[in-house]
Structure 1
Amino acid sequence: MNADFLPTGGCLLGRAWPSGAPHPLVVTVRDGEVFDITRKGFATVRDICESEDPAGYVASAPGRSLGSVAALAESGALLSPIDLQAIKASGVTFVVSLLERVIEEQARGDKSRAEALRGDILSLVGTDLSALVPGSEEAAKVKAALIARGVWSQYLEVGIGPDAEIFTKGQPMSSVGHGADVGLHPVSEWNNPEPEIAVVVNSRGTIVGATLGNDVNLRDVEGRSALLLGKAKDNNASASLGPFIRLFDASFGIADVKSAELSLTVTGEDGFRLEGSSSMSQISRSPESLVAATIGKHHQYPDGLVLYLGTMFAPVKDRGGAGKGFTHRIGDVVTIATPALGKLTNTVRLSPDCPPWTYGASHLLRDLARADLL
């Protein structure tokens, strides 16, 4: 494995657990080498993100070389780049995904009905929703018109209404990193990857960096009922992040996040190949507004959070027969990429077949205490 998954540059922050280490290490990358920068007071990624200048600290922090980033990745030692942060996600932030969510709801989890419903709904709704500002007077008029035509949906409510959809994707320490397996709940027969940028936010509500994410989605489960969102979204190995956090500095900031173009490639053991993209310029709610909807006087996160920003990608390419649409098969390799953040690659398994999540926040803190790092 080479290091072609690294971003084009920037100040990188992540986590690794090489063989023989007594606990996960906080790391950075310098000239293709991984350096352990764990030290007392800065023993977690959370601690660094809470500092006044995360990028400045990481850039100057003394460290011990762990070898090449390619070798570390090959060994499976790279972890998700966050630790104690809450894992949150926003949904229905792009018009394409908005329409697909409406289709899921109308299909009631039956993927065989999706194609016909797509044509019917597009003929009623069109694609002009992308020009609407959620919560605006114009959006309210569209809402009234759609209700009158009988096609209003809870997904349209969060897509163009005043309130964003923010949900808990997983618990702190539950996400997986670059090179790991990602999991599907065994009950699902209609599912897909969701290529996204995730922003890293400290407890003060400040965005300090960004990384790539796969917000694995079970379309049939969520389509049956929005009340099944937890089952559709929060399963073993269902949240992927990485390969590293790129911290905001003079070379990279929120403007770069807003202009990013993400690519998605799915390659199957059956020879199937799917390619797609997601353009952050088409997001209907700004990253800042999504963060403000998540953290503030109404809700605090003392250890900060990571927030998936949503995707415009909605796979409709047929797999396994005309009109059947896309769904994952076990062994699919999913790669999400953008130059500024690198490449995040994972292999699809069933959640019970992925390594079980057994190392949580309590285990990390005990190990750090034993190492006199707290």
Structure 2
Amino acid sequence: MDTNKGDTPTSILSNSRIPIDSPETWAFGVTYEDSMKERQAESDTPDVYGKVYVADRPEAFFKSTLARIKGNNDKVGIRSDSTWDVPEPELTFIVFHGKIVGFTVGNDMSSRSIEGENPLYIPQAKIFNNSASIGPCWVPIELIDYNNLNVEMIIKRNSKEVYSGSGNTSLMKRKCDELNEWLHKSNDVPDGTTVMTGTGTIPPEDFTLQHGDQISITIQDIGTLVNEVIKV
């Protein structure tokens, strides 16, 4: 694959484990209707999720620094003070000079018990050691129909499948270009920043990750991101 097509800079390419040295990783939430409903189910204050889903301004939050981000076949974390943890498979775009130049697969590790207790705890539910991964590669924007990509997640425990789910980026209420515009409002975004765009695939309420689980996230035309879970 010619990753130098168009104006995509070679300077933001990295090794095979983390496909880009992303100085910052941001994330958007409640961009799919299914995500909104799941957030309402887990929360003691469900109205906030319904309101942000229909609002003009989306939910955006800082997710990770380069030192924290993990790559393909790296270990991702679940918090030791959390009782309900899930991975969130997310189409992730790469920003250069304010524009989207490509896409990768993202895993937004999240504590549903902490976020559900109080939305003000979202930074603790989202930002911790090994709380995000990207990979296994990135694909230039010219080569992908990012508004219509299948997203699949499989979780295995002791080599046995314990969860599988799928969705499609066509179901996003807010598209990537709109999210990128919001990200740059009064905000200088470093070149190479990665941006997770929300999830439409969430395990049910009776499921939580365990130490040793294996997560495989596949996005059509990009690849499969594989991570093992550890307690942090």
Q: 1:304 to 1:178 in 2, by over 3 A?
A: closer
Amino acid at match of 1:350: K
Is the CA contact (8 Å cut-off) linking 2:215 and 2:227 kept in structure 1?
Answer: yes
Aligned counterparts of 1:227 and 1:161: Cα–Cα separation in 2: 18
Task: Please report the TM-score for the alignment, with normalisation by the length of structure 1.
Answer: 0.58
Q: 1:245 to 1:334 in 2, by over 3 A?
A: same
- 1:263 to 2:201 alignment: no
Aligned counterparts of 2:24 and 2:105: Cα–Cα separation in 1: 16
Aligned counterparts of 1:340 and 1:173: Cα–Cα separation in 2: 27
Match of 2:105 in 1: 212
Unaligned runs of 5+ in 2: none
Question: Runs ≥4 in structure 1, deviation > 4 angstroms?
Answer: none
Match of 1:347 in 2: 228
Aligned counterparts of 1:188 and 1:53: Cα–Cα separation in 2: 43
Correspondences of 1:120-131 after superposition (within 5 Å): none
Q: 2:216 aligns with which of 301, 310, 335?
A: 335
- Overall identity of the aligned pairs, in %: 30
For the pair shown, which has the larger CA radius of gyration, 1 or 2?
1
Amino acid at match of 1:243: P
Post-superposition offset of 1:239: 0.5
Higher relative contact order (CA 8 A, sep 6+): 2
| 2:43 alignment partner, SS class | helix
Task: Please report the TM-score for the alignment, with normalisation by the length of structure 2.
Answer: 0.91
Post-superposition offset of 1:342: 0.6
- 1:303 to 2:191 alignment: yes
- 1:245 to 2:183 alignment: no
Unaligned runs of 5+ in 1: 1-9, 14-50, 62-76, 109-151, 317-323, 352-374
Post-superposition offset of 1:84: 4.2
Once the two structures are superposed, residues 271-293 of structure 1 have per-residue CA deviations (whole angstroms, 9 ceiling, x without a partner) of 35211012101000011001111
Aligned counterparts of 2:190 and 2:111: Cα–Cα separation in 1: 30
Which has the larger strand fraction? 2
Once the two structures are superposed, residues 192-226 of structure 1 have per-residue CA deviations (whole angstroms, 9 ceiling, x without a partner) of 11011100011x32100000011011100000111
Is the CA contact (8 Å cut-off) linking 1:11 and 1:246 kept in structure 2?
Answer: no
Post-superposition offset of 1:182: 0.4
Aligned counterparts of 1:176 and 1:184: Cα–Cα separation in 2: 14
Post-superposition offset of 1:52: 7.2
Is the CA contact (8 Å cut-off) linking 2:94 and 2:195 kept in structure 1?
Answer: yes
Which has the larger helix fraction? 1
Aligned counterparts of 1:208 and 1:270: Cα–Cα separation in 2: 36
Q: 1:282 to 1:52 in 2, by over 3 A?
A: closer
